[in-house]
Structure 1
Amino acid sequence: MTDLLEETGDERADAALGGLARLGALPVSAHADVFEEVLTGLEQALASVDDAPDRHP
């Protein structure tokens, strides 16, 4: 798990992916819950892109 990107350039995505750091301290049986949380955070970050004003008129 040390090959993860340190930053994506998007604060929301970085915050969501930061949850993966918890995997090493958790039993494998708890990993699915962490993956669900990370996926939800990434989906929210992606959905908010649609709400952002256009940067290229």
Structure 2
Amino acid sequence: MTDLPQETGDERVDAALGGLAVLGDLPVPAHVGVFEEVFTGLERVLASVDGTPDRQK
């Protein structure tokens, strides 16, 4: 896996990507849930940038 930068320059993105840190401690089947949480966090950041209302599941 490629090393990710420590910081992106946006603390909201950094916080969302920080969730990936737990992957090494989890069994592979549990990774899907982590990826979904990170994706949702990134969607929220993008929505706030372009003014799109936040979509909650």
- The structure that has the greater radius of gyration is 1
Identity of aligned residues (%): 76
- Aligned positions, number: 51
TM-score (norm 1): 0.82
TM-score by length of 2: 0.82
Q: Tell me, which stretches of 5 or more residues in structure 2 are unaligned?
A: 52-57
Structure 1 unpaired stretches of 5+:
52-57
Write out the 4+ residue segments of structure 1 that deviate beyond 4 Å after TM superposition: none
Q: What is the CA RMSD across the aligned residues, in angstroms?
A: 1.3
The structure with higher relative contact order (CA 8 Å, sep 6+) is 1
